[in-house]
Amino acid sequence: MLLITRFLQHEHHLGRPINQNYGRLLMDFLYFFGNVFDPRQMRISVQGSGVYIKRERGYSIDPIHIDDPRFPTNNVGRNCFRIHQCIKAFSDAYSILESELTSLTPADDQCSRPPYRLLPKIIPSISLFIS
């Protein structure tokens, strides 16, 4: 939840409206946290307008540092030992969606076609809930 909060704060400060296309927000989130964010180098804080802070070398052996919004000296990410698997999943999801979107032809973008479902491409179990 804090990653999403921080990402939306960042989007707002780039001058982008938060109510923009949810698909674009998802793609930007997956790209940033899958390809740009490095938990060994960056610390996340949602305080104030939110910031990505350079982590100090040797500061901690924690896999990711996310400031607790209520107690900033507490790292809520200290037990996220699978963060690199999450980052890879974000990167893979971005690549899959990007590939699917670039393979669509302009004719695929017409309203008369049946709905094209992208989320099941990255979350297979969601197809159980989509009719």
pLDDT in tens, 67-83: 999 998 899 999 999 99
Residue 94 has a pLDDT of 96
Question: What pTM, to 2 d.p., does this model score?
Answer: 0.78
Q: Could you give all domains of the chain from N- to C-terminal order, each with its CATH number?
A: 2-104 (1.10.1410.10)
- With 0-12 CB in 10 A as exposed, 13-18 as middle and 19+ as buried, what is 130? exposed
pLDDT in tens, 79-119: 999 999 999 999 999 999 999 888 876 665 555 555 667 78
* Interatomic CA distance for residues 85 and 98, integer angstroms: 20
